A = this chain, B = another copy of it.
Amino acid sequence: MKDIQSQHDGRNLDIDKVGIKDIQYPIVLSDKEKGRQHTVARINMYVKLPHNFKGTHMSRFVEILSNHSSNIDLYKVNDILEEMKEKLDSEESFIELSFQYFLNRKAPVSGQSAMMDYHCRYVGSAGAKGRDQVLTIRVPVMTLCPCSKEISSYGAHNQRSYINISVRMKKMVWIEELIELAESCGSSPIYPLLKREDEKYVTEQSYNNPAFVEDVVRNVAEKLMKEDRVTWFEVSSENIESIHNHSAYAVITRSK
């Protein structure tokens, strides 16, 4: 059969990335605590296509994914990226994984625990300019409005907020480390399971630690500035305002 994809293309245009998008796959990740964690990922895999080739070979991406899915170590994604370059005959390869990551969280007083989900995204590439990797986590926290607390005779509006941290790393940072960093930067962490004594604790702790959306991103940025493994970061917070039908939002991006 004719291999149309391998034919010559005369338009003189490299394609930056070509491949498969939004394939869902069960994966097994390496996990700081338990060693291994099963989850489900939405995955994109691309390679660069030089200007003289008409097309890439889409089925090979799925073959490579299939070979690696039962053991994806974010610390060793380079193996996959190298295999992509080789099997797809390209000088640059890219992989993007979005998944829920689960951690056991203990309630602050009762100590009762359950799993909580954190949305994560890993983007890795390998090419002429070397390797690049950006890890993004989304951590839900509670924020209580300093202005509302100050001006009101009692109470203060508060809400669920999502802190998004993206880091470019020269050495891997554990997902668990970033989650803990983020949880310390709102008015209070949030939990999957709270008994009454825990609910009292969380309510009072958040009232004692009011934080604007601006405070949250500054709190996180201050800590990441001191983190040597991180060469670039972006931190945003989106507060699902309890008094509005829209969000308050702030973002800080820094290269180091």
Q: Which residues of A contact B (CB under 8 A)?
A: 1-5, 9, 11, 13-26, 37-40, 44, 46, 49, 54-56, 58-59, 62-63, 65-66, 69, 100, 102, 112-117, 140, 142, 144-148, 150-160, 188, 190-197, 199-200, 202-204, 206-207, 212-215, 217-218, 221-222, 238, 240-253
Chain B residues with CB below 8 A from A212, complex form: 4-5, 54-55
Asked if A65 and B114 make an inter-chain contact with CB atoms under 8 angstroms apart, the answer reads yes
Asked if A252 and B65 make an inter-chain contact with CB atoms under 8 angstroms apart, the answer reads no
Chain B residues with CB below 8 A from A192, complex form: 23, 62, 244-246
Chain B residues with CB below 8 A from A215, complex form: 54-55
Task: Please report whether the interface of chain A is mostly helix, strand, loop or mixed according to DSSP.
Answer: mixed
Given A22-B247, A199-B151: A214 and B114 interface contact (C-beta under 8 Å)? no
Whole-angstrom CA separation of A243 from B250 in the bound complex: 21
Whole-angstrom CA separation of A107 from B123 in the bound complex: 29
Query: Which one, B5, B155, B222, B238, contacts A11 given CB within 8 A?
Result: B222
Given A15-B251, A18-B213, A190-B245: A114 and B62 interface contact (C-beta under 8 Å)? yes
Asked if B207 and A148 make an inter-chain contact with CB atoms under 8 angstroms apart, the answer reads no
Asked if A244 and B190 make an inter-chain contact with CB atoms under 8 angstroms apart, the answer reads yes
Asked if B243 and A154 make an inter-chain contact with CB atoms under 8 angstroms apart, the answer reads no
Chain B residues with CB below 8 A from A62, complex form: 114, 192-193
Minimum CB–CB distance for A159 against chain B, Å: 5
Minimum CB–CB distance for A64 against chain B, Å: 10
Chain B residues with CB below 8 A from A245, complex form: 23-24, 116-117, 140, 160, 190, 192
